[in-house]
Structure 1
Amino acid sequence: MTAPATSPSPVPLPSPLELPAEDRALSPHTGYTRAHWEATADGLLRAAWQWATPGSALLDLPGRPSGSGVRSDGLEGYARTFLAAGFRVAGAGGEDPHGWLERYADGLAAGTRTPGRDDTESWPLILDHHVQGQPMVESASVAIGLRLTAPWLWDRLDAGVQDRAEEWLRGALRHTPAPNNWYLFPYSVAGFLESVGRGDAETARARERALELLEGWYRGQGWYADGDSRAFDHYNGWALHLYPVLDAHLAGDTEQSAHYGARLREHLESFSLLFGADGAPIHFGRSLSYRFAAGAAVALGAVTGHTPLTAGVSRRLVNGSLRYFLDRGATGTDGLLSLGWHGPHDATLQHYSGPASPYWASKAFVALLAPEDDPLWTAPEEPAPSEGPDRVLALSAPGLLVHSTRADGIVRLHNHGSDHIRPHEGEAEVADDPHYSRHAYSTRTGPTAAANVADNHLAVELAGRLSERRRIHPLGAGGGDGWGWAASWHRPVFGTGAPMVPGLRVESVTVVRGGHELRAHRVVGAPAGALVRQTGWATGPDEDVRSALHALHGWESADEVRAPRGTAFTRWAVVPRLTGEAGGTTLLVALASLTGDTDAAPLSAAVSEVSVAGATAEVRWSDDGSTTRIAFDPLTVDHASAAG
């Protein structure tokens, strides 16, 4: 019997955060307590405020500017740290030993005095998302910070400052958000204004519009699409669930709380599995530099009671996520959250990422709204879902397949339903996005950078041009006891030359069982002379995991490809690869694995027999003689025991 995995224990990197002593009796997995959260919030605020303008309106943190410009970046520094301060002070019942709120009050007064002016303190105006939109994002953080701290900040402001702040905030209600979670920013602004007696028809319209869209974006199983597209990622937790559930909680609206809280509860049933035994969230989707904000949904569920998790499990997940990043140098020696994952990492970023962007991690401090005597802080930590028995979870609504293995504590996500292409966009019009286009992601590996070989990818090669996977069309997901599957199809897109080949498509099925991933693809309509290349997990010398890829049918050669730019987890990586020929219709089957279990058997020993007839493949497993059958026409996936 394999012993349960223990969380890897890297030597913590130097950090200026002054953290209290660990409590291993109450928190046997992490040692963290509520006091660690307060100390972390104070440390992050202390470091960031060193870069404030004289009037406290902007926090101009050092680093590469975002596409929105340095003034917007300075507002971002003010607003996102205000979230941390708001949760910190509200969670302490108004106690503010470091005087954070006085600074934010001064900054509010200075920033709204002459908004739009090019001077040292003035905040940028809020305009449409495609003109000067980033301030709309930040307006929500300002509004929530003010709402959380209203008795100690807003209520004590001069009436003139209140009026100026309202006028600036109303810019979010009068301009067009981006067609996704952005509609929840004016929703949050309107919620604050209504909470302080400044609501009207304009605020009501903003809230009604956001909730109307949110209903259309809900796809079931606790998952929202981020807009009218099929983007399913961490924005579910730190935006699409967070804003409406927090709003209802702060307003005491039991009807709204019950409606949106039920969805949060269902979301956490699957999302709670997306944290590894080391505390890492799944490395998937955009804006990953927000890091431990991934725990915000777990914390909010515990605070509001809308969670299927025990307090001990919730505590384990949020503590583990926070400690994971602090131990791996997320703050650096200057105490500032860097743009990256562990430390700085350019390939993790988007064009909108600026020096203060990582401070959306402040959303995790919603945990502090649970008082000291709340079970979230008094219940001993319990093992995370990934630390229990091996799990397989098929999510048909978002088209995701998740599996975890106890032996190494790794969680893997196989993507057959989430992409980053809006409905009106042509597939050849957008660039490949490694954070969505790959077939698989994990808590211990990251995708390779766009300039390197793509990991976990099936590419058709024509005249030296490799195809990319853009729009993903889900075909279904399901499974049974100890196994699961998900399937999708896509049209290969070529970055140079003709973007598409008429009639060419790739149908893909992933079946997981234990630590094994059966990957089957049917390539339809391939021109003569085409090649097909399948890659596996990218791993490197900075990791204690192993990647393997084993041909079962249709592949002719195997090698490894170097990825010198590495991933967010390793400076340099190697990717296993299989190559075969394709012409007309071709069926290809391979077995892949990513493991940290040093006792794992060779991948070549996992399967005893493979048979392929037409569009159907059957694989017999060596350990118990069970059989997995994949048929593409029509699509069916079955798994039968040796006796059945």
Structure 2
Amino acid sequence: MKRRNFLTAMSIAGLTGIIKPETVLAEEKKNKKAIKPINDRTYWYQLLYKIANPVVSNLAAGTLVKNMPLVTSPTFDSRSPKVSYLEAVGRTYAGIAPWLALPDDDTDEGKLRKKMRVEAVKGLDNCFANGSPDQLTFNRDAQPIVDAAYLAHAFLRAPKALWEPLKVETKQSIIASFKSLRNRKPFKSNWLLFGSITEAFLLTVGEDIDKERLNEGIVKLNEWYKGDGWYGDGPNLAFDYYNSFVIHPMMVDTLAVLVKHQMIEPAKYELALKRMQRYAVGQERMISPEGTFPPIGRSITYRTSAFQVLSQVALMNKLPKGINPAQVRCALTLVKKNMYDVKGTFDDKGWLQLGFCGHQPEIADYYTSTGSLYMATLSFLPLGLPATDPFWSAPFAEWTAKKAWSAKSFPKDYHVDY
């Protein structure tokens, strides 16, 4: 029997040897499904959908509290972990807002975007309804000051997509919830801008505002400005990503509202924008040739939201001279692949897990829980640009560090005095 099997094998081997290689390759191609590479935009919107969908779809179904795993840092403090649900909502919506603001179309992306937008609006109607199992809580702890601000930022970024379609009673509930936070003072840090942008949103919908709360963040952060695009997070400089997580985006967007309402001179907005652009220069240069970036400072479990400034400046079509949109797209695409394609980033139900690159719960700060992680969506803001925009349509371009470490010409860098 062994001899017969051996001879059979030898016969097959002999036949294979006389088959032309081209024939074998053609047969392999026929039997294998061709994997079509996806372009950068497709990768981005599919990844954003993967990240945001567990939050948005569960909120629409009234099952966010039921299904979102409530995992906290090993050093989690005494605050109620239930604030995590509000964190997940505010942060997710702030990141998906520009994408949802695009008009409908019949592409695969357009259909997915419309689905998420419809569910996002339904979810807000649900979680602000009395008696809802997902009703959000604003009446205790200081944390709601933070995530009301991110939700307000979402409404500023996509008023027609996320604010105008809401039920009247939902709008009234949101306004009342935001105003209820006035009985709690933000900490003397980047938190002051949470109060500012929330009041700025209330101004846009014709509500009475707390002028002191509106202005305090702007005044104090300008007092704490350290130069060359860096604000202090309080009186001192913190070498972390809070200039991107919070300070520049909320400062610029709050000032934009005040300019529109003729409450400040446009020059104040222009100065803040120039500072944000300068910070964006540093961000682009921090992306290594391999598509990595330094894990510095606290809150690194917020992952790619470290690049909210670079993403927002790209969305605004305000990238500084010397940085073309395609190089930002290509750099950030590689960063996302390095970060989100790593095992352990998502659990088996698709929820983000504590970590920087993969599952690393030990690095989560004392205020971090599952909902906190959805700051990650803030690096996807350029999806608010149409597919025809050069950010998406231009060919591959190398970013600064990739040029520099390839012995190619790249722009020199100098500090600025504003």
TM-score class, shorter: 0.7 to 0.9
Q: Per the alignment, in what secondary structure is the counterpart of residue 302 of structure 1?
A: helix
Q: Which residue of 2 aligns with 1:125?
A: 138
SS in 1 for 2:226: strand
1:165 maps to 2:174: yes
Secondary structure, counterpart of 2:222 in structure 1: helix
Report the structure, 1 or 2, having the larger strand content: 1
* Equivalent-residue separation in structure 2 for 1:58 and 1:307 (angstroms): 43
Which residue number in structure 1 is paired with residue 84 of structure 2? 73
Cα separation, 2, equivalents of 1:56 and 1:75 = 14
Q: Is the 8 A contact 2:59 2:127 kept in 1?
A: no
Q: Contact conserved, 1:332 with 1:343, CA < 8 A, in 2?
A: no
Are 1:213 and 2:213 matched, yes or no?
no
In structure 2, distance between residues paired with 1:90 and 1:285: 33
Residue 96 of structure 2 corresponds to which residue in structure 1?
85
- Tell me whether 1:235 sits opposite 2:265 in the alignment: no
- Residues 519-567 of structure 1 show CA distances to partners (whole Å, capped at 9, x for unaligned) of xxxxxxxxxxxxxxxxxxxxxxxxxxxxxxxxxxxxxxxxxxxxxxxxx
Which residues in structure 2 correspond to 1:356-435 (within 5 Å)? 356-389=371-404
Tell me the SS of whatever aligns to 1:356. Answer: helix
In structure 2, the partner of 1:103 is 119
Query: When the two structures are aligned, how many residues end up with a matched partner?
Result: 358
Conserved in 2, the CA contact under 8 Å of 1:72 and 1:134? yes
Q: Give me the whole-angstrom Cα distance separating, in 2, the residues matched to 1:372 and 1:255.
A: 32
From 326, 329, 332, the counterpart of 1:315 = 329
% identical equivalent positions = 21
Q: Which of 339, 342, 355 pairs up with 2:354?
A: 339
- TM-score when normalising by structure 1: 0.51
**1:248 Cα deviation from its structure 2 partner:** 4.9
- Cα shift readout 1:439-490 (whole Å, capped 9, x = no counterpart): xxxxxxxxxxxxxxxxxxxxxxxxxxxxxxxxxxxxxxxxxx99xxxxxxxx
Aligned partners of 1:55 and 1:110 also within 8 Å: yes
1:99 & 1:84 partners in 2: Cα distance? 16
Deviations 1:380-421 (A, max 9, x none): 23222221235xxxxxxxxxxxxxxx59xxxxxxxxxxxxxx
Alignment check: 8 A CA contact 1:246 1:300 kept: no
Decide which moves more: 286-295 or 62-71. 62-71
Q: Contact (CA 8 Å) 2:354, 2:364: kept in 1 or not? A: yes
- Of 341, 344, 347, the match for 1:327: 341
Q: 1:37 aligns with which of 34, 44, 51?
A: 44
* C-alpha distance after superposition, 1:352-377 (max 9, x if no partner): 11012111011112112222222211
Alpha carbons 1:300, 1:366 under 8 Å: kept: yes
Contact 1:181 1:240 in 2 (8 A): yes
Q: Which residue in the other structure is 1:261 paired with?
A: 273
Task: Find the aligned partners of 1:246 and 1:318 in 2 and give their Cα distance.
Answer: 23
How much has 1:233 moved relative to structure 2? 1.3
C-alpha separation between the residues in 2 aligned to 1:248 and 1:367?
21
Residue aligned with 1:120, SS: coil
Shift in Å at residue 269 of structure 1?
2.7
Q: Any conservation in 1 of the 2:100–2:384 contact (CA below 8 Å)?
A: no
Partners of 1:273 and 1:140 lie apart in 2 by: 29
Task: Select the residue among 353, 360, 364 that pairs with 1:349.
Answer: 364
* 8 Å contact from structure 1 (residues 261, 306) kept in 2: no
Q: Partners of 2:43 and 2:251 in 1: how far apart?
A: 27
State the alpha-carbon separation in 2 of the partners of residues 241 and 136 from structure 1: 18
Q: Distance in 1 between matches of 2:288 and 2:257?
A: 31
The aligned residue for residue 12 of structure 2 is none
Shift of the alpha carbon at 1:290? Answer: 1.1
For the residues of structure 1 that align with 2:55 and 2:332, how far apart are their CA atoms?
A: 23
* Equivalent AA in structure 1 for residue 395 of structure 2: P
Aligned-pair distance for 1:113? 4.0
- Which shows bigger deviation, 161-170 or 244-253? 244-253
Q: Which has the higher contact order (CA 8 A, sep 6+)?
A: 2
Q: Are 1:139 and 2:148 matched, yes or no? A: yes
SS, match of residue 152 in structure 1:
helix
Distance 1:53 1:368, change over 3 A: closer
Deviation per residue, 1:79-113 (Å, 9 max, x gap): 22222332320145696645334433344334334
Q: Is the 8 A contact 1:223 1:232 kept in 2?
A: no
Q: Which residue in the other structure is 1:283 paired with?
A: 295
Unmatched 5+ stretches in structure 2: 1-34, 261-265, 414-418
Q: How far apart are residue 173 of structure 1 and its match?
A: 3.8
Paired residue secondary structure (1:82): helix
Contact 2:63 2:133 survives alignment (8 Å): no
User: Does 1:64 find its partner at 2:71?
Assistant: yes
Q: Deviations over 1:13-38 (max 9, x none)?
A: xxxxxxx9546xxxxxxxx5222222
Is contact 1:290-1:359 (8 Å) kept?
A: yes
Q: How does 1:290-301 map to 2 (within 5 A)?
A: 290-301=302-313
> Aligned-pair distance for 1:52?
4.4
Deviation at 1:142, TM superposition (A): 1.5
After superposition, the C-alpha distances for 1:269-328 in whole angstroms (9 at most, x for unaligned) are: 323221122211211011111111122211212222142422122222222222221222
Change (3 A) 1:49 1:270: closer
**CA shift at 1:57, angstroms?**
6.6
CA contact (8 A) 2:312 2:382 kept: yes
Q: What is the deviation of 1:72?
A: 0.9
Separation in 1, partners of 2:371, 2:37: 29
Deviations 1:218-252 (A, max 9, x none): 10011111112231211112211121234456788
Normalised to the residue count of structure 2, the TM-score between the two structures is 0.76
Residue 212 and residue 336 in structure 1: after superposition, are their counterparts in 2 closer, same or farther (change >3 A)? same
The answer (yes or no) to whether the contact 1:79–1:141 under 8 Å persists in 2 is: yes
Q: 1:155/1:389 Cα in 2 relative to 1: closer, same or farther (>3 Å)?
A: closer
Please name the residue that 1:178 is paired with.
187
In the alignment, the residues of structure 1 paired with residue 63 and residue 152 of structure 2 have an alpha-carbon distance, to the nearest angstrom, of: 17
Are the counterparts in 1 of residues 87 and 371 from structure 2 also a CA contact under 8 Å? Answer: yes
One-letter code aligned to 2:280: L
Contact 2:56 2:123 in 1 (8 A): no
Change (3 A) 1:111 1:63: closer
Cα distance between partner residues in 2 of 1:381 and 1:245: 30
1:632 aligned partner: none
Distance 1:248 1:35 in 2: 33
Root-mean-square deviation (CA), in Å?
A: 3.0
- Aligned-partner Cα distance in 1 for 2:334–2:178: 36
Aligned mate of 2:160, from 151, 167, 183: 151
From the superposition, tell whether residues 53 and 313 of structure 1 become closer, same or farther in structure 2 (CA, over 3 Å): closer
Q: Deviations over 1:584-642 (max 9, x none)?
A: xxxxxxxxxxxxxxxxxxxxxxxxxxxxxxxxxxxxxxxxxxxxxxxxxxxxxxxxxxx
Distance 1:250 1:175, change over 3 A: same
Name the one with the larger helix percent. Answer: 2
